[in-house]
Amino acid sequence: MQEIDFLAQNNMKIVIFIISFIASFILTPVSKAIANRTGVIDVPKDERRIHSKPIPLLGGLAIFIPVMLSIPFIINDYREIIGIMTAGTIIFVTGVADDAKDLNPKLKFLLQIVAASVACYFGVRIDFLTDPTNTSDVINLSTYISIPISIFWIVGITNTINLIDGLDGLSSGISAISAISFSVIAAENGNVEMTFLSLVLAGACLGFLPYNFNPASIFVGDSGAMFMGFMLACISIQAVIKSTAALSMIIPILGIAIPILDTSFAIIRRFVNGRKIYIADKGHVHHRLLDKGYSQRQTVLILYLISIIYSGIGILLSRTNAVNSLIITIIIFIATVGVAWRTGFFEMKEEEK
């Protein structure tokens, strides 16, 4: 009987993934037509842009619709449904407004906090952490600690995916890789709902990717990048952090390591050089690889590979004890920061100083 249930669940995973992939693949040309008709186009206006011709935005619509429509059928808790759908819609609409009108960064940040607060109010928050000294115990967090940490996490991950959205197919591909890694961890933790939701997100991202990979005919836009980041943040809280995995905060960080590290380096670089942290520059990891002579496709594939490696390490760490997890993670991040320092990631380019 258990074997039949296991096979049925695996078949359901495949079906959910395929349906989401097909829906996104079909909706992407529709999104492109809507973007062209409404004039939501990314026109290259500065040298920071990699593309040389106008490209329609609103690609995120093809990811937003399949994910939103699936949530009521996947999640059983009505409060969680309301929280994720309401907050996700706020994030998406904020992104659409930014794609169309270039919102003030402070207003955009405020709306992200509002969305994260809504998600937290309806139960998407970090209520406890696993005790690293005894994984059978948990450390309960008070409301005064839980809510600020949860809002910080959701807003932070939302922006990390948005900030790395600088090359064709980069944010959508890395989001798909991260979502797949979260689905594996969620399945191992017995969290069926988040396993399915992760696969829906991964399928939607991959269904969009054929149109978004270099040379892209449509961009995911701030609406799509922020929505993907928001969903990854929510899934990581519900599927990974709220688990019995040792040092559970580390696992989703590794699953989204590339955008988190890139954003962290950007903040440090801009702060050290006296720049406002929300002012864009050409110092992101993909810009550095392009400067080394790699093509757009090569750069994106390199970052895919690194993301797969980090995600794989995160999955392995979810199966080991706290001490090994901590030691391995410290070594990885010291090595990463060392490489970043040696290659000048914390320095502003001469033409931008």
> What sign for the dihedral angle of Cα 151, 152, 155, 160?
negative
Residues 98 and 222: beta-carbon distance below 8 Å? yes
Instruction: Report the pLDDT value the prediction gives residue 324, as an integer from 0 to 100.
Output: 64
- Region 133-152: mean pLDDT is 77
Q: How many other C-beta atoms are found inside a 10 Å radius of the C-beta of residue 14?
A: 10
Q: Using one digit for the tens of pLDDT, what is the confidence trace for 187-230?
A: 888 889 999 999 999 999 999 999 999 888 999 999 999 999 99
Q: What is the pTM of this model?
A: 0.85
CA-CA distance, 38 to 84, in Å (whole number)? 27
Q: 272: buried, middle or exposed (CB in 10 Å: 19+, 13-18, 0-12)? A: exposed
Instruction: Report the pLDDT value the prediction gives residue 145, as an integer from 0 to 100.
Output: 87
Strand ranges inside the chain, DSSP E: 41-42, 55-56, 128-130, 138-140
Q: Which is higher by pLDDT, 288 or 35?
A: 35
| Domain housing 70 | 2-352
Q: How many domains does the chain have?
A: 1
Residues 198 and 144: beta-carbon distance below 8 Å? no
Strand ranges inside 5-102, DSSP E: 41-42, 55-56
CA-CA distance, 118 to 87, in Å (whole number)? 6
Instruction: Report the pLDDT value the prediction gives residue 3, as an integer from 0 to 100.
Output: 45
Q: How confident is the model at residue 48 (pLDDT cuts 50, 70, 90)?
A: low
- Residue 277 DSSP label: T
Residue 28's nearest CA partner among 213, 299, 235, 181 is 213
CA-CA distance, 331 to 335, in Å (whole number)? 6
